[in-house]
Amino acid sequence: MTDTAAAGPLPKPKRDFLPALLPAAFALLMLPLVGSASSWATLLAASLAMGMMIFIMASGLTLVFGLMDVLNFGHGAFIAVGAYVATLVFLPLAGLSQADSLASNLAVLVPAAVLSMGITAVLGLVVERVLILPVYGQHLKQILMTTGGLIVAEQTLYALWGPQIIPMPLPASLRGSFIFGDVAIAKYRLLAMLVGLVVFISIQLVLNRTRIGLLIRAGVENREMVEALGYRIRRLFLGVFMVGAALAGLGGVMWGLYREQVHASIGDELTVLVFIVVIIGGLGSVGGCFIGALLVAMVANYGGFLVPKLALVSNILLMVAILMWRPRGLYAVTSR
């Protein structure tokens, strides 16, 4: 067969680095405004840690929306449940958690994180089967069902744990800071950055190096065609939903430790933030979600430092600015 269509050279795919450079550009722009290099660096560390935690919570949500067009306003419930489940380990084992031994601290922290992720994954399974499955393709009903689910989850947490704020102090080994010259960086923030990076790299490896990842990427772009090729995308979606719920649970544990307290409305508070990140990043884009989370955290931290009153609306302003520049988010994957 003649290959008329291939006569010309293929244009090199355009690599879109601009959004990826935004966090670094924003941080550099803040340096003269903040004035003090040590304050700037401390704020940067706080931003990176906060951004990574938000990314962990939001990464599942962006894939859930991208893959199946499901609006899950109940995602915050997984965050809250994750944080509360962690208290089941942290409170009884407070002695180990506050011992001056990293091994003892990890013996509490790791099981707490694993238990939270396990329980939120199972909760994700139940939510997908009971709340999401009957309303596939119906956005309004999805919003009603998942918002209702969030309210029920929140009230259940109040009923089980009571309305009081539950303290969840950091393990002793994670208290304090590392000092680099004039810059103090909290140990826990470094851990949060590390965990966030591990999650990001793991997701990228799964998406880009495995067959399941290939199916997820294809499904985010055109799930109908994936089904027409013989793949049962609903099962894949259930798996992604459970992983997303587990990551939200992990994010809840980390956020609870970051704030050193847990309360039932933690999910409510973070749902809006997580949705802003997903929208800024581009629905279905894990890379966009990562950058969006960093930007949101930077705007919150630097904005809060420079113009405290602006902190109330800074995330919304950021979202408006990004959407005016790129109406489908930083890295648009789906056409939705």
Interatomic CA distance for residues 325 and 322, integer angstroms: 5
Q: How many CA atoms lie within 13 A of 150 on its CB side?
A: 23
Residues comprising the chain, all counted: 336
Based on the number of CB atoms within 10 Å of its own CB, is 86 exposed (0-12), middle (13-18) or buried (19 or more)? buried
Of residues 243 through 302, those in contact with another protein by CB under 8 A are none
Interatomic CA distance for residues 171 and 90, integer angstroms: 9
Q: How far is the CB of 7 from another protein (least distance, A)?
A: 9
Q: How far is the CB of 189 from another protein (least distance, A)?
A: 34
Of residues 9 through 38, those in contact with another protein by CB under 8 A are 10-13
Residue 197: Cβ within 10 Å count: 14
Position 100 contacts another protein (CB under 8 A): no
When the beta carbons of 13 and 327 are compared against another protein, the nearer one is 13
When the beta carbons of 149 and 284 are compared against another protein, the nearer one is 284
Interatomic CA distance for residues 76 and 150, integer angstroms: 7
Number of residues counted as binding another protein (CB under 8 A) = 29
Q: Record the tokens describing residue 295, joined without a space.
A: 């930007």
Q: Which of the 8 DSSP states describes residue 70?
A: -
* Identified binder of another protein from the candidate list 113, 226, 238, 330, rule CB under 8 A: 226
Q: Which of 252, 244, 243, 240 is nearest to 112 (CA)?
A: 252
* Identified binder of another protein from the candidate list 16, 129, 205, 227, rule CB under 8 A: 227
Position 1 contacts another protein (CB under 8 A): yes
Q: Record the tokens describing residue 93, joined without a space.
A: 């084992």
CA angle 324, 45, 318 (to 5 degrees): 10
Based on the number of CB atoms within 10 Å of its own CB, is 180 exposed (0-12), middle (13-18) or buried (19 or more)? exposed
Query: 198-217 mask for another protein (x: CB under 8 A)?
Result: -------------x--xx-x
Q: Which stretch binds another protein (CB under 8 A): 185-193, 219-227, 250-258, 290-298?
A: 219-227
* Identified binder of another protein from the candidate list 129, 139, 232, 336, rule CB under 8 A: 232
Q: How far is the CB of 283 from another protein (least distance, A)?
A: 14
Position 231 contacts another protein (CB under 8 A): yes
When the beta carbons of 103 and 228 are compared against another protein, the nearer one is 228
Q: Record the tokens describing residue 324, joined without a space.
A: 């005016």
Q: How far is the CB of 234 from another protein (least distance, A)?
A: 9
Residue 131: Cβ within 10 Å count: 20
* Identified binder of another protein from the candidate list 107, 125, 144, 218, rule CB under 8 A: 218
Give every CB contact of residue 293 below 8 A, 6+ residues apart in sequence.
51, 52, 54, 55, 58, 277, 281
Q: Which positions lie near another protein, rule CB under 8 A?
A: 1-6, 8, 10-13, 211, 214-215, 217-218, 221-222, 224-233, 333
